[in-house]
Amino acid sequence: MSASVRNADNRSVERWRWLFYVALAFAGALLTFVGARAQQKTSDDATFRKLIDEYCAAWSTGTADAPAKFYAKDNGLVFYDVAPFAYHSWKEYHEGVQKEFLEGASEIKLTAGKDLKVTRRGMIAWTTVPMHLMEKSKDGKTSESARDVQDAAVLLERGTGLSLQAMEKPLRAVAL
């Protein structure tokens, strides 16, 4: 075999070796990206589970002041709930919920189900979760099963964290 044929063979082997290393580096980068994405989803699920549980605990205090920290209060936001359905400012929502639901209750307990779904796209996230509301009125009557709902929230990440922009039954406003 002549020297020129050997040199051509060596160049061919070197090209294939270089392509193999590039493919190996690409596969490694892809695996790193997939692993990081899965880790972020796990972290997001835990973050939103904690947020939803804190949100339920705040509403379970029986006052509209406790959950206020979870809600965005920007002008122009509309808050949706079961009755009267739409409130056209945070102040209107706060006063309406206090009057319609909380003043007549001696005890309220809001709990989130296990089936929390979180979808996140950049600074916006939305969640759905089944919720159960137990309400004991001041006259001693207890209402439970009629209040099982599928709750949805739209959250916006701001400098101070997540803020509910919309969340209720079916959608209401909150800050992240």
What string of DSSP letters covers 43-109? HHHHHHHHHHHHHHHHHTTS-SSGGGGGB---TT--EE-SSSSEESSHHHHHHHHIIIIITTEEEEE
pLDDT reading at 1 higher than 80: no
pLDDT reading at 176 higher than 50: no
**Amino acid code (one letter) for 110:** L
Predicted local confidence at residue 146, as pLDDT: 43
pLDDT reading at 10 higher than 90: no
* Average of per-residue pLDDT across 51-61: 91
- Alpha carbon 86 to its chain centroid, in Å, reads 22
Q: Which residues contact 59 (CB under 8 A, 6 or more apart)?
A: 66, 67, 108, 110
Tens digit of each residue's pLDDT (9 = 90 or more) over 81-135: 766 778 888 899 899 989 888 888 888 898 888 888 888 887 888 888 888 888 8
* Separation CA 143–CA 104 (nearest Å): 12
Whether the Cβ atoms of residue 176 and residue 125 lie closer than 8 Å to each other: yes
Residue percentage of the chain with pLDDT more than 70: 70
Q: How confident is the model at residue 58 (pLDDT cuts 50, 70, 90)?
A: very high
pLDDT reading at 15 higher than 70: yes
Report pTM.
Answer: 0.66
Tokens of 118: 């979180």
pLDDT reading at 170 higher than 60: no
pLDDT reading at 159 higher than 60: yes
- Alpha carbon 109 to its chain centroid, in Å, reads 21
Predicted local confidence at residue 20, as pLDDT: 78
Residue-averaged pLDDT of the chain: 76
Q: Is 4 helix (H, G, I), strand (E, B) or coil?
A: helix
